[in-house]
């Protein structure tokens, strides 16, 4: 029989805590006991409750997540959450279950939880059917821009444009710039709503006004179709 996994969130960013809370609520085995805004709040939570798992931000004021992780009981599992890649090695040196890079997509979060359930003794038996309802895609993502997490509804996105390590996400009313690769963004977008048409462009299928063999028109913008993606794009658009 599966056991409830008591968990807490420790993160100084309100939006990050809100996202994780939403994700945790979708998973039957996870029981969120407290959402903490600092490491000190987390220490109090661990002293007051029997905690199995901590979703732990690394870059926090006063006490960092890495320092916090070194101070708690070894039987408490940790999933690090951070916007900074450079902490990954040290995070895994502390034997963390996983290391999630913000902004965290739900499917990536789910993989981390499944890794915990499959490799620890917190849950005696993992039943995939239990999670079948979790594979439904949200109708939005959160993107980090200008030091905050911005909610982007899929229905508002026109197209995504790559600028090397940065990406522009275009809507009819605004453009959001986020420090991510276009491949990372592609993995977070549902492929029944969006299609990669070029190494530098992803478009919303719903927003397409017209298309030819060479380009797609969206909101008076001609987005090129590259040779690499042409066959797949034309086949998919032709079957809709």
* Helix, strand, coil in percent for the chain, rounding step 5: 35, 30, 35
Give, for 184, the enclosing helix (H) or strand (E): helix 182-188
Say if residue 166 is in the same domain as residue 228: yes
Q: Do residue 218 and residue 175 come from a single domain? A: yes
Structural domain including 199 reads 140-238
Residues 123 and 174 in one domain: no
As given in the structure block, the two tokens for residue 45 are 């939570």
Same-domain status, 66 and 158: no
Residue where one domain finishes, among candidates 79, 108, 135: 135
**Residue of 168, 169, 165 whose CA lies nearest to 179:** 165
Q: Single out the residue in 119, 135, 151 at which a domain terminates.
A: 135
Total tally of structural domains belonging to the chain: 2
Residue 192 neighbours by CB distance under 10 Å:
10
Q: Are residues 192 and 130 in the same domain?
A: no
Tell whether 149 and 230 lie within a shared domain. yes
Instruction: Note the pLDDT tens digit of each residue in 74-92.
Output: 789 999 988 776 654 454 5
Q: Rounded to an integer, what distance in angstroms lies between the CA atom of residue 55 and that of residue 8?
A: 6
Q: Identify the CATH number of the domain in which residue 187 sits.
A: 2.40.50.1020
Instruction: Give the residue from 77, 101, 135 where a domain finishes.
Output: 135
Rounded distance between C-alpha atoms, residue 230 and residue 24, angstroms: 39
pLDDT score, position 223? 96
CATH number (domain holding residue 67) = 3.40.50.2300
Q: What is the pLDDT of residues 25-77, one digit of tens each?
A: 888 888 999 999 999 999 999 999 999 999 999 888 888 888 888 888 878 99
CB 224 within 8 A of CB 197: yes
Does 116 lie in the same domain as 37?
A: yes
118 and 228 in a common domain: no
The token pair that represents 56 in the structure block: 């732990």
Same domain, yes or no: 128 and 32 = yes
* Interatomic CA distance for residues 3 and 19, integer angstroms: 24
Same domain for 32 and 110, yes or no, is yes
Those residues whose C-beta lies under 8 Å from the C-beta of residue 233, and which sit 6 or more positions away, are 195, 197, 216, 225
According to the per-residue pLDDT averaged within each range, which of 99-108, 124-133, 203-212 is highest?
A: 203-212
Residue position matching structure tokens 């993992």: 126
């Amino acid at each position: 029989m599966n056991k409830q996994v008591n968990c807490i969130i420790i993160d100084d960013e309100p939006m990050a805590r809100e996202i994780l809370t939403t994700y945790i609520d979708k998973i039957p085995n996870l029981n969120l006991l407290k959402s903490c805004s600092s490491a000190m709040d987390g220490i109090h939570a661990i002293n007051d409750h029997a905690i199995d798992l901590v979703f732990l931000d690394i870059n926090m004021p006063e006490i960092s997540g890495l320092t916090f992780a070194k101070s708690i009981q070894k039987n408490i599992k940790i999933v690090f959450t951070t916007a900074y890649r450079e902490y990954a090695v040290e995070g895994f040196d502390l034997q963390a279950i996983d290391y999630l890079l913000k902004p965290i997509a739900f499917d990536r979060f789910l993989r981390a939880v499944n890794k915990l359930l499959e490799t620890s003794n917190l849950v005696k038996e993992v039943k995939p059917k239990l999670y079948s309802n979790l594979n439904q895609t949200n109708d939005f993502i959160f993107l980090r821009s200008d030091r905050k997490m911005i909610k982007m509804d899929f229905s508002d996105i026109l197209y995504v444009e790559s600028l090397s390590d940065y990406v522009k996400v275009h809507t009819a009313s605004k453009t959001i710039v986020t420090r991510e690769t276009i491949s990372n963004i592609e993995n977070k977008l549902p492929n029944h709503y969006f299609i990669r048409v070029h190494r530098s462009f992803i478009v919303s299928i719903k927003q397409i006004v017209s298309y030819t063999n060479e380009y797609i028109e969206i909101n008076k913008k001609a987005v090129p179709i590259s040779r690499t993606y042409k066959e797949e794009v034309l086949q998919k658009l032709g079957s809709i």
